[in-house]
Copies of this chain bind each other. A is one copy, B any other.
């Protein structure tokens, strides 16, 4: 695809070589995210960070990514902004707001809304999550994390063995990840969920068409025994009409250090889209895993910054200029090296 000036709305826009281009660009952003140096390549550019639904971490990740490239951020947060669009079409909102910035990141509770907005925008629009539909930068950061975690081990995305655990019916992140995996070869996907929260049929069909092997099961322990990645998700209680129903599932797929040690191969990577529910009764990923160097959940969010920097650099066509406008930082960087950081 031609990234220059493109909207980033859906992972379905990406072919395998596009993904490799995003990942290669993300790799080049590492010194800036690590604060070894700064770049001013986007000095004078404005990101319109339009969040019509609260999502602090995604909003700040996009905003910081843009700042790290030297640009400015104007933004909108949640409810205040919903009143704005009362009666106004998303196209009108887009015509107005796209006059105020050079690129827009938009999050909105309604599926399809970001594409509708983009259709009338005069600047590139990035989907920061449109309800149950898409959140492409999250899917890309998940896949990028898989690649980076495995690359020191002589393993890669082709040939991957992954267990997806939890709510596979409503979990937008696992759906998107499955779609991205279809661009790769020879993957084994173990789907661990209660039958009521199983992976939808259409996604199973896509995985099948791609030649991947899938197994659906309710048993956690055997499923995590021979995989490279355990991708855990939270039971989204807000999806249940009767919330007490959600309690039936909570804790059923709990992972802690003892279970990990007993069942997993050494170096099995643990992922989670975050936030992780840390309340006593949640039982998703126990805190005793925090010292496990294979817990990659915070490296995922760090990678999100790199992916978002890469997307901005590609869409605004400055990848080749990022290093040209770089210089050393002037302040003391107290940040731990990323590898020691979790």
Contacts and interface: CB of A to CB of B under 8 A. Distances in A.
Interface of A: 4-5, 33, 35, 38-46, 48, 54-57, 60-61, 63-64, 67-68, 70, 72-74, 76-81, 83-89, 92-93, 95-97, 99-102, 122-124, 274-279, 282, 287, 298, 301-302, 305, 316-318, 321, 325, 329-336, 341-342
Contacts of A44: 38-40, 68, 70, 329
A334 B318 CA distance: 13
A282 B92 CA distance: 15
21 contacts: A38-B45, A44-B70, A54-B83, A56-B84, A57-B96, A57-B97, A60-B76, A61-B100, A67-B72, A92-B274, A92-B278, A93-B275, A95-B298, A95-B301, A95-B342, A99-B302, A100-B305, A102-B333, A122-B341, A316-B332, A318-B331
Contact of A317 (B4, B78, B331): B331
A89 B279 CA distance: 8
Contacts of A63: 74
Contacts of A38: 43-45
Contacts of A67: 46, 72, 74
Contact of A321 (B46, B84, B330, B333): B330
Q: How many copies of this chain does one complex carry? A: 3
A308 to B, nearest CB: 10
A75 to B, nearest CB: 8
Given A44-B38, A67-B72, A122-B335, A96 B54 contact: no
B57 A87 contact: no
A46 B88 CA distance: 32
A129 to B, nearest CB: 14
Given A67-B72, A100-B305, A298-B96, A42 B278 contact: no
Contacts of A334: 4-5, 122-124
Given A99-B301, A278-B89, A316-B332, A56 B80 contact: yes
A91 B106 CA distance: 28
Contacts of A101: 64
A74 B73 contact: yes
Contacts of A305: 99-100
A175 B197 CA distance: 54
Given A38-B43, A87-B278, A124-B334, A56 B72 contact: no
A277 B88 contact: yes
